[in-house]
Amino acid sequence: MAPRRLQVAVAGLGRMGKRHATNVLSRTPRAQLVAVFTPDEGEMSWAQQNLAQWGVKLYTDYDEMLKHAGLDAVVVATVTTVHAEQTIKAITADKHVLCEKPLSTSVEISQSVFDAAKAKPHLKVMCGFSRRFDASYRDAWERTDSGGIGRPSVFRSQTCDKLDPTGFFVQYSAFSGGIFVDCNIHDIDLALWFLGEDSVVKSVMAVGITAVQPELQKHKDVDNGVGVVEFYGGKIAYFYSSRMMASGQHDMTEIIGTEGKLTVNANPRDSLVDMWEPNGVRHEIPPHYYGRFEYAFVTEMNEFTDCCLNGTKLPFKLKGAVKAVKIGCALQESLITGTKIHFDETGRRIEQPKL
Amino acid sequence: MAPRRLQVAVAGLGRMGKRHATNVLSRTPRAQLVAVFTPDEGEMSWAQQNLAQWGVKLYTDYDEMLKHAGLDAVVVATVTTVHAEQTIKAITADKHVLCEKPLSTSVEISQSVFDAAKAKPHLKVMCGFSRRFDASYRDAWERTDSGGIGRPSVFRSQTCDKLDPTGFFVQYSAFSGGIFVDCNIHDIDLALWFLGEDSVVKSVMAVGITAVQPELQKHKDVDNGVGVVEFYGGKIAYFYSSRMMASGQHDMTEIIGTEGKLTVNANPRDSLVDMWEPNGVRHEIPPHYYGRFEYAFVTEMNEFTDCCLNGTKLPFKLKGAVKAVKIGCALQESLITGTKIHFDETGRRIEQPKL
Amino acid sequence: MAPRRLQVAVAGLGRMGKRHATNVLSRTPRAQLVAVFTPDEGEMSWAQQNLAQWGVKLYTDYDEMLKHAGLDAVVVATVTTVHAEQTIKAITADKHVLCEKPLSTSVEISQSVFDAAKAKPHLKVMCGFSRRFDASYRDAWERTDSGGIGRPSVFRSQTCDKLDPTGFFVQYSAFSGGIFVDCNIHDIDLALWFLGEDSVVKSVMAVGITAVQPELQKHKDVDNGVGVVEFYGGKIAYFYSSRMMASGQHDMTEIIGTEGKLTVNANPRDSLVDMWEPNGVRHEIPPHYYGRFEYAFVTEMNEFTDCCLNGTKLPFKLKGAVKAVKIGCALQESLITGTKIHFDETGRRIEQPKL
Amino acid sequence: MAPRRLQVAVAGLGRMGKRHATNVLSRTPRAQLVAVFTPDEGEMSWAQQNLAQWGVKLYTDYDEMLKHAGLDAVVVATVTTVHAEQTIKAITADKHVLCEKPLSTSVEISQSVFDAAKAKPHLKVMCGFSRRFDASYRDAWERTDSGGIGRPSVFRSQTCDKLDPTGFFVQYSAFSGGIFVDCNIHDIDLALWFLGEDSVVKSVMAVGITAVQPELQKHKDVDNGVGVVEFYGGKIAYFYSSRMMASGQHDMTEIIGTEGKLTVNANPRDSLVDMWEPNGVRHEIPPHYYGRFEYAFVTEMNEFTDCCLNGTKLPFKLKGAVKAVKIGCALQESLITGTKIHFDETGRRIEQPKL
């Protein structure tokens, strides 16, 4: 007899929700997609055509979905503004949760998710930092962890989206938490991973411009941002995010140690084809985030499922997700106020730099 | 109710058989692995541990397996010497077949598979030219097909295996058909794809050496081979195969047209990590064929399944598999005899070159 | 009869001085090396062996050298601390001057060089921003200038030296002006070139660490620095400098515009050789600055010579050299004080950020 | 007093002649350009404008030029058809000679040059295999020679010209000796260098097509050729040449040994700039041979000069130039006759392959 599979529901069927649902359905052998929730008609219609035939129950009410008989785990892939609320509800209903990043754009609310999870240590509650599951980042991590570059000291990472001339990003910005929370949250999480989860922030400073979408200013957001985070103990992370890449998505990372350096995806490409044309040699790069990280999402779902079924430890802690939001919000604040923000070794804000 | 899934059996659980079985089991949503066959104890033991719990029936007799109730399709992944026999048996039993390449190392036997398939046009019989399903080759093909490089004229392709010092290749060579049939069969198939399936061979010539494994000479084989195939109509394909790559697997292709050139995998890499070390900048490359083509195999199984279920056309014809073996065997003969072999426009051998 | 050649003297025969002398001697057809000055015995000995036979007069007194009959131009390649003084003396003596960067580590002294030059408009006085003569930077500049990337908006540039475990950089740091003035001065100059010479600085912020050479702290310097410069009008430049690159020198630049991006030397290499070895594919990178910019220095000397002989305009203005020092010094100050420094549109310092 | 400089004349001021003359004039410190010869009015006009002012004597008669007082050495850069005659005349007049490749398109005439040189061992007579002076090829050679790739066994090399739609190559082909003699002569010379100058040819085979310039057929030439040379002792070299590269010049080489592989210029580029554009990431490649090998020619002239002045050994032997022509001519013959050509261990032709 086939082993029991994790009974999973997916909440939200937007761009990422559809992908998560499909991944649970057909690329996660130990999981079974049993339910989905969406308040959106278009999304529901997609579910009727693509999921219903596989015995997936469709819900328009999140609370009802949580009561689905036998449900083990919930993937929260709704809009950021309800991530925290739905995650906490699922925890309360005794479900494992994989919540899309960020937990919230608010530090306090993110903390409340952490507190809820802490109260139920038998549940697996994970923030969807998909890059943690990417084979290349893991390869880089193993090399770093085994001393391959000496002591990691300077960390550079960027998340750059392809220019979307439709104005999507302007609307999106109203709720995204701003570019440092929305885009660079991944880079911040990676910085904590590679420089040490317990790294203590000494200062943050960010600047930004609206080069192509001045309308972003009404949401106090930018389309290009540069942020610098200084940690106690002689470590620096700096970030770049952009909404105007001409060629496509370019997310990359550089980890500089005292004895060597690693880069991850310094030279992006969409396929292995090079085109030798009259005006030179050319290759394409992925247009979207999913083109780069598709298999990381598949791995994420499979490992989350394994941890839930086996009762083993998740590959990283939820605490880091709160910390990443905290840093992202501080960068966003620095961007808006034009000031550098300082912290002491205990994490408290101070007025003057600590020399 | 969930749609009916294709009931699939896998014959042979060696390196590729295990992968095919796993892909049917958990990466091909529309297929169901219902049976496997292997005469090998070690492989059977693997099946007991990995497949039995999912309700897969294990057979030690191929003919019995063919009688499995409800079976729709067979994947033939046994040793090359029985590919043809098992494929014909499956056809006779009215099953769809995906047969690993080559159909046979003999042109006549390959032809007999083709004849058997031709007699049952309702069945899908496909030779596993996995590269045909690779996203990068498909990208290159679309660019070529849409005129992106003008008229494809010169084709270069190589299959290079990582050096295996265990002597595996020597034993393997006894039955592999030789390096041009075993390795370059993929490149030959690609040449026919890109230069035209109906291209008529004008001449073939091959040379080779045993640089690291002189024992190959007892099987009239080599560890490095260069072959040139001239086609009527002004087209050339040339091939390189090697069993002694230091860094890992390197399969690549170059399609040169009158207005441009495409390369596929000219610069192989295993992950997106670059290592900046005291002696330079380094990256690793996949050690094995599967590291390069893993997802092509997954696509292959899914598309084969779709064609069987939907009754649609396979993406390429079985006839080409016979032709590829024919060219591979001619190259192998040229290697052994030291001569160039000439053909007329009808495919008949001639003594003198056609000028 | 051969045309008259520019009569050139080189002051200082350290690492760069030797190269300049050699370049004037044998790679600058329209120039003639007539004199050199060095107060150093080792350098003088080198000159006796390598220059004397070509009729070059050797001086141990700079002022004497300036009186050399027929002398047209002086290349100042001595230590940074005397750049300004020697340049001003040469100007006073009515000589053209090519002065190595920076003019001085002091803004005021740099300004005094500019003032001296301004008083003698018939003289060509140039700061040796060698990258301005590099073919790749020029190619990038032409593409930028012709609108190839839209409006250049974000500029990233780095100067990274190979780790030198001898402690050279610690001693050197006593007089270098600090890492932002010494290393990033090139990147700052490039930023002004690509973002506009008249760009007005809005803020500067820098952080740094001593990852491998803690002794640098006694000179208030670091071995890894990150600096961010914000300009009025929606432009950002950010810089990285390091003294601990494992693989070799890596100076690179990225110019991000509203419609595209250019990178210069993103993937450095020393030769065109790739090594395919058991642990991957490797290439080496130049160990030193000169390995990357050798031909830029040759072009620099030839173009400087042409401008002097033809009375044509130098390719860039001396004013920018003062501005670059000003920005470098502000970054260095920000590094030391831990604060962000703000300026108003007229260039005056202000206490609060301008929002 | 300045040391005596080698008094050099350049014969022929076509594309390469102009470059050689300029290199002697201004990039070869120990040489002095004293005379040039050209029978062509346009070239003479160029010389009057560019060389006369530097005291260079201009000749329209080669024999007269040879009598120029004090002349030490001649660079023969005229059309291939007179290379041998002029070189022999110069040798007879007791001059050192640097003769552009090939010595001749005829094996016998090439041999006569060798014989003439052999009779005057005090003279330096060199064939201009410019790639021998290229820093990257030298780097590859040192790595090969020091055992870095084990025993070099398979050699692949190509010379690919940018498509020239003017029909230049058709006219040129009348005297070039054909694509294997004209283009691949460099690759053949490299093969002998890397596989061993004393390697004995076992067989040669070539095929070719006229993909873009069918008019080449009247000169029995092709615009794309593939050639394979088998050597006794288990070594293979294979070559590709093309006149229809869309992107520019691409000359590259791959040396495959029993323990590793080296590539030289596998990924050509013209500058260090990458362009990130809406349709991908692009870089340009050099349009012409000189763009790739400019500095090799400068090194060639300097080293030739040093050998003449110092009486030291040239970096490679003239004998190899005869051998390269011999192999090139055999490939060309194989192309034309459609046959594979066999040799015994003494270099004599045989009818049947030696097994």
**What is the secondary structure of D257-320 as a DSSP string?**
ESS-EEEESSS--SSSEEEEETTEEEE---SSHHHHHHHHHHHHHHHHHHHHHHTPPPSS-THH
Of residues A175, A144, A114, the one with CA closest to residue A254: A144
- The model's confidence at residue A355, banded by pLDDT at 50, 70 and 90, is confident
Section A101-114 average pLDDT: 96
Same domain, A221 and A72: no
Section A2-24 average pLDDT: 95
Instruction: Report the percent of chain A where pLDDT is more than 90.
Output: 94
Residue B230 covered by a domain:
yes
- Residue A150: C-alpha distances to residues B28, B225, C113, C161 (Å): 43, 43, 44, 17
Q: Which residues of C touch A (CB under 8 A)?
A: 149, 151, 153-154, 156, 203, 205, 207-212, 224, 226, 228, 230, 234-236, 238, 240, 242, 244-247, 256, 258-261, 266-267, 337-340, 342, 352-355
Same domain, D118 and D136: no
CB of A244 within 8 A of CB of A238?
no
Write down which residue in A103, A128, A153 finishes a domain.
A128
Of residues D98, D97, D130, the one with CA closest to residue D298: D130
Residue A297 covered by a domain:
no
- Share the mean pLDDT of chain A: 96
Contact call for B282 and C282, based on CB within 8 A: yes
- Residue C45: C-alpha distances to residues C37, C40, C41, C48, D168 (Å): 12, 9, 6, 5, 55
**What tokens does D274 get?**
């990458």
The whole-angstrom distance between A282's CA and the closest CA on chain B is 10
Chains with 3+ CB–CB pairs under 8 A to C are A, B, D
Of residues D72, D67, D65, the one with CA closest to residue D36: D65
Residue D1 reports pLDDT greater than 60: no
CB of C339 within 8 A of CB of A353?
yes
Same domain, A183 and A118: no
Residue A203 reports pLDDT greater than 80: yes
CB of B182 within 8 A of CB of B305?
no
Residue C52 covered by a domain:
yes
DSSP notation for A24-82: HHHS-TTEEEEEEE-S-HHHHHHHHHHTGGGT-EEES-HHHHHT-TT--EEEE-S-HHH
Which residue of C276, C278, C285 is in closest CB contact with B280? C285
Q: What is the pLDDT of residue B171?
A: 87
Same domain, B52 and B124: yes
User: To which residue do tokens 């030279």 refer?
Assistant: A267
CB of D103 within 8 A of CB of D113?
yes
* B252/B171: higher pLDDT: B252
Q: What is the pLDDT of residue C176?
A: 87
pLDDT digits (tens, 9 = 90+) for D233-287: 999 999 999 999 999 999 999 999 999 999 999 999 999 999 999 999 999 999 9
pLDDT digits (tens, 9 = 90+) for B127-140: 999 999 999 999 99
**What tokens does B130 get?**
């996995």
What's chain A's length in residues?
A: 355
Residue type, A158: Q
Residue C43 covered by a domain:
yes
pLDDT digits (tens, 9 = 90+) for A36-55: 999 999 999 999 999 999 99
Domain that holds residue B104: 6-128
Chosen from D49, D253, D272, D299 to mutate, greatest number of chain C CBs within 10 A: D272
**What tokens does A197 get?**
């989860």
The whole-angstrom distance between A34's CA and the closest CA on chain C is 45
**What tokens does C13 get?**
């025969």
pLDDT digits (tens, 9 = 90+) for A111-149: 999 999 999 999 999 999 999 999 999 999 999 999 999
pLDDT digits (tens, 9 = 90+) for B264-304: 999 999 999 999 999 999 999 999 999 999 999 999 999 99
Q: What is the pLDDT of residue D164?
A: 92
Write down which residue in B77, B100, B128 finishes a domain.
B128
User: To which residue do tokens 């019989």 refer?
Assistant: B125
Residues of D in contact with A275 (CB under 8 A): 280
Q: Report the predicted TM-score, pTM, of the whole model to 2 decimal places.
A: 0.96
What CATH number does the domain containing D94 carry? 3.40.50.720
Same domain, B13 and B97: yes
B251 to chain A: nearest residue by CA?
A272
Residue C340 covered by a domain:
yes
Compute the distance between CA of residue D260 and CA of residue D254 in angstroms, rounded to an integer: 11
Residue B308 covered by a domain:
no
Compute the distance between CA of residue A63 and CA of residue A93 in angstroms, rounded to an integer: 9
Contact call for A2 and B139, based on CB within 8 A: no
pLDDT digits (tens, 9 = 90+) for D63-112: 999 999 999 999 999 999 999 999 999 999 999 999 999 999 999 999 99
Residue B1 covered by a domain:
no
Instruction: Report the percent of chain B where pLDDT is more than 90.
Output: 94
Same domain, D96 and D223: no
Same domain, C30 and C156: no
- The model's confidence at residue B328, banded by pLDDT at 50, 70 and 90, is very high
Q: What is the pLDDT of residue D175?
A: 86
State how beta strands C6-11 and D6-11 pair.
unpaired
Write down which residue in B94, B128, B162 finishes a domain.
B128
CB of B209 within 8 A of CB of B223?
yes
D275 to chain C: nearest residue by CA?
C262
- The CA radius of gyration of chain B, in Å to the nearest whole number, is 21
Of residues A252, A306, A300, the one with CA closest to residue A132: A300
Compute the distance between CA of residue C93 and CA of residue C62 in angstroms, rounded to an integer: 12
The number of distinct structural domains making up chain D is 2
CA atoms within 13 A on the CB side of A194: 39
Q: What is the pLDDT of residue D169?
A: 86
Which residue of C3, C139, C278 is in closest CB contact with D271? C139
Compute the distance between CA of residue D51 and CA of residue C183 in angstroms, rounded to an integer: 42
Which residue of B26, B272, B277 is in closest CB contact with A29? B26
What CATH number does the domain containing B195 carry? 3.30.360.10
State how beta strands A125-128 and C250-257 pair.
unpaired
Residues 6+ apart with CB under 8 A from D37: D9, D10, D11, D12, D58, D59, D60, D61, D62, D64, D65
Same domain, C117 and C141: no
Contact call for D148 and C264, based on CB within 8 A: no
Contact call for D280 and A283, based on CB within 8 A: yes
Neighbours of C178 (CB within 10 A): 26
Compute the distance between CA of residue A10 and CA of residue A20 in angstroms, rounded to an integer: 7
Contact call for D280 and A247, based on CB within 8 A: yes
CB pairs under 8 A between C and D: 77
**Vertex B126: Cα angle to A26 and B159 (nearest 5):** 90
Same domain, D175 and D192: yes
**Per DSSP, which regions of chain B are E strands?**
6-11, 31-37, 57-59, 73-76, 96-100, 125-128, 152-162, 201-209, 224-231, 235-245, 250-257, 261-264, 273-277, 280-283, 341-343, 349-350
Q: What is the pLDDT of residue D21?
A: 98
Same domain, C280 and C153: yes
Residue D342 reports pLDDT greater than 60: yes
CB of D294 within 8 A of CB of D186?
no
Same domain, D115 and D170: no
Q: What is the pLDDT of residue D3?
A: 80
The whole-angstrom distance between B104's CA and the closest CA on chain D is 27
State how beta strands D250-257 and D152-162 pair.
antiparallel
**What tokens does D51 get?**
């060389």
Of residues A76, A71, A56, A66, the one with CA closest to residue A16: A76
The tens-digit pLDDT sequence of chain C (355 residues) is 568 899 999 999 999 999 999 999 999 999 999 999 999 999 999 999 999 999 999 999 999 999 999 999 999 999 999 999 999 999 999 999 999 999 999 999 999 999 999 999 999 999 999 999 999 999 999 999 999 999 999 999 999 999 998 988 898 888 889 999 999 999 999 999 999 999 999 999 999 999 999 999 999 999 999 999 999 999 999 999 999 999 999 999 999 999 999 999 999 999 999 999 999 999 999 999 999 999 999 999 999 999 999 999 999 999 999 999 999 999 999 999 999 999 999 999 999 897 7
State how beta strands C280-283 and B280-283 pair.
antiparallel
CA B147 to chain centroid: 27
**Which letter does DSSP use for residue B214 in this model?**
G
3-state secondary structure of C175: helix
The whole-angstrom distance between D124's CA and the closest CA on chain C is 24
Same domain, B38 and B94: yes
Which residue of C149, C236, C338 is in closest CB contact with A226? C236
Residue C314 covered by a domain:
no
Secondary element (H or E) of residue D92? helix D80-92
Q: What is the pLDDT of residue C3?
A: 80
Percentages helix, strand, coil for chain B, rounded to the nearest 5? 40, 25, 35
Instruction: Report the percent of chain A where pLDDT is more than 70.
Output: 99
